Amino acid sequence: MKKFYFLVLLTAISCTASFAQTVDVNFTGLAFLDNREYKDFIPRSRTYSGTRTALNFGLNIDSLNHFVVGVNTMHEFGAVPFFIKADPIVYYKYESKNWLFNAGEFPRAELVDNFPRALLNDTLMYYRPNIEGLLARYHTAHFMQLGFIDWLSRQTQTQREQFIFGEEGKYRPSLSGPFYISHFAFMMHDAGAEILLPTDHIGDNGGAEIKLGLDFTQKQHLLDSISFEVGILASFQRERGVTGAKTPMGFVASVFGSYGRFAVFNEFDAGQGSEIGYGDAFYEKKFYDRLDLIFNSFSAKGLRGQFVLSIHRTPGYTSNQEAFRLTYDLGRKVIATFKE
């Protein structure tokens, strides 16, 4: 009988705990000063500078289901009014051991910030920090696959319907081996407004990369990290009813190495040139080489400061870029617990 009452008591405690709900808070910040002296892209030769601060609160229904509400604000240095833009953060998140599903307006950081610059340029972290739509990810120790859809513009009488859908995947046959395969792809669909003009046409523009990589980070002792990648970059461009599909291709290769606070990244691209609307314009060239010299200046729990000197080489031009970025992530902190 005592064992019976003990089991009943344990069951009651576990049921009560299973209905416990928590509220947490998260704060992130980004400060950036990014000076670009592009000799072959004069309109893009400018300085991007400002700060982004994001505050959000999460209601954790249980270990799998979560609702998050907050705001991400943007201030460019010297701009009036102070906050030139506020992006809402409102989404539902399901997260288990292997699955992640988001629906709503949620940060792209640590989800869709690993795409090659050829496909999604790095100013998106400054000016479009959220994905507005859906994202699903499945991962195991050897495999990861992610897919998302992101609405850019909704259709009105004068405004075009635009959205991006994309995917990212990676497969590593052996956790102890250096070899892996990764792939990225996205397409932007540009449809018309409700009231079409004679010159309006539906457009599709996107690209894809597939790469073979070797990561020797755990295999060597001279450097903290070293990795190599080679692959193919392809793009797709079409204006329906006007032009046929354009599918230029190119070869890409990169190397990354780091030691202590210093790191070096070099990427080379050669081919037919890819005109990808949301990609970095340098990849439109038939030859492009980028060298990044990186100094990780500040490092603490949740805090990272980084200086990057970039040298861009294209046929007939050598351009330079100097950037400083400071990021901070408080991490999710529980501030209240409720039990039913």
> Could you count the other beta carbons within 10 Å of the beta carbon of residue 217?
14
Return the SS3 of 272: coil
Query: pTM to 2 decimals?
Result: 0.88
Over residues 61-95, the pLDDT tens digits come to 999 999 999 999 999 998 887 777 899 999 999 99
Residue 14's identity, in one-letter code, is S
Return the SS3 of 13: helix
Over residues 92-109, the pLDDT tens digits come to 999 999 999 999 999 999
Question: DSSP string spanning 192-245?
Answer: --SS--TT---EEEEEEEEEEEEE-TTT-SSSSEEEEEEEEEEEEEEETTTS--
Tell me the β-bridge partners of 147.
Answer: 136, 167
Domains, in order of start, for the chain: 21-338 (2.40.160.10)
Note the pLDDT of residue 43: 77
Over residues 134-156, the pLDDT tens digits come to 999 999 999 999 999 999 998 88
Residue 306's identity, in one-letter code, is Q
In angstroms, the CA 143 to CA 154 distance is 34
| Confidence category of residue 11, pLDDT binned at 50, 70, 90 | very low
Over range 275-291, report the average pLDDT: 94
Over range 310-315, report the average pLDDT: 97
Name which of 217, 141, 205, 207 is nearest 168 in CA terms: 207
Note the pLDDT of residue 19: 54
Largest CA distance in the chain: 89
Please give the sequence-ordered ranges of beta strands (E in DSSP) within the chain, or none if there are none.
21-37, 47-60, 65-76, 85-95, 99-107, 130-139, 143-153, 162-171, 179-190, 203-215, 225-239, 249-259, 262-271, 287-300, 303-314, 317-329, 333-338
User: Are 205 and 239 within 8 A, CB to CB?
Assistant: no
| Confidence category of residue 14, pLDDT binned at 50, 70, 90 | very low
Enter the tokens of residue 83: 């906050």
Pick from 100-104, 109-113, 186-190, 195-199: least confident:
195-199
Note the pLDDT of residue 80: 80
In angstroms, the CA 53 to CA 181 distance is 35
Note the pLDDT of residue 66: 97
Percentage of the chain beyond pLDDT 70 is: 93
